[in-house]
Structure 1
Amino acid sequence: MKTVTGPDEPPVTADALRTGRRRMTRAAREQQLLDLAEELFLANGYERTTIEDIARAAGVTRPVVYEHYGSKEGILLACVRRARRQFDSDLMKAVAGTDDPLEQLRRGADAYYRLLERDPRRWQLLFGPGGVVSSALGEELTRERFRTVNLLADLFEAHLPGHDQQQVDAFAHASSGSAEQLGHWWLAHPDISREQVARYFVDNVWASFQALRQQTRTANVQASSSGLA
């Protein structure tokens, strides 16, 4: 059968041209499925979205969706991983270029709440309560959140020489939870500016960070005085 091709494009059959459909590369199909699944999850909720819905939106059969992602849980996890990778990248870019912990905190808060302001529905995919999911999927989603929190812990501990690792991890989780809850509060109070919400977060977390830093310094001095350092 005669085909029509373009530079670096997969072949397009004459039948595909007549019907308006064309073959897609595997990578392009995966991205298409993720885009459509994410929209359906956000619009209708995870529980009310089916593999058939995703397949119909993409113009493919259900086996095609299963081939790429295995299950509805698999495609939700892929959506969350993609969104989190982008957020984590944006966060690290935001804090790059300064070693000042307060400035890093301000830039990180700005990046976080810009995400919420720009796309509240996608933020809900990352930080919302979500639908009813299996325990296995819930564990995977929790691990994805913890990867982001680990980035925060790495940023904090760089300014806490001689720190207690467990305490820094706990502080990172508490800070992440504070940012998330403040985000939900902001959604209920949309009249408040993004800048103000970010300031609320920074003011609260910075005060706690200063206390933790002083506590770490005191512990280091005491350990040195007792000959334990």
Structure 2
Amino acid sequence: MKISIVAGGPEHLIPDLKPYDLSSDHIWIGVDRGTLFLLRNDIFPLYAFGDFDSVSDDERRSIMNSSIKVNQYRSEKDSTDMEIALEWALKQNPEQILIFGATGGRLDHELMNIQLLFKSRNNHADVRIKDTRNEISLHLPGCYEIEQDHRYSYISFLAQSEEVTGITLEGFKYPLDQAKLQAGSSLCVSNELVNKSGTYSFDSGIILMVKSRD
């Protein structure tokens, strides 16, 4: 099972979702205004989460009168709409979770949405944030294979712990062998694959991988 979550970020940064809407075991979730974006693009979410304070009264009625299973919350709450939706999605034990509409708007929301990736640390789901220019994912120690993707020219690795040890990059323009990456260091920013595939590995710490294009 795969789950895609669409939030209400700037619509011009949300990629074409139709290529993702092909699997029969694919569940779509709308988060607040992201629910309207899905409906306007002829994708019908099974669930919607949010306080819906970013939609008009008419738009709210349209959502409530649909066949969507709506989970509405008060605006005054301890969790963001995105956090509530992601926690629900993780509990379904899907193979993959894709998050759209989570970047490019308010900076506090964008940074918080990226930090929400930490919730996937103890879950086997492949969780990624995607927009028209970036794909963001969080990784724990191990060895990973990565393939060239024409959509993303650059690959960056950012330390999300005080330090990352034993980082090794093979098949990259700027390889590394058992290096140490400190939090706040730009050592692994804007790298590129020189082969069709490569590997990255590290012994300890947490890494945020950002695949991007200009």
Question: Which structure: greater helix fraction?
Answer: 1
User: Which has the higher Rg, Structure 1 or Structure 2?
Assistant: 1
Question: Which structure: greater strand fraction?
Answer: 2
Q: What is the TM-score of this pair, normalised by structure 2?
A: 0.30
Q: What is the TM-score of this pair, normalised by structure 1?
A: 0.28
Q: Comparing both chains, which one has the higher relative contact order based on Cα–Cα distances under 8 Å and sequence gaps of 6 or more?
A: 2
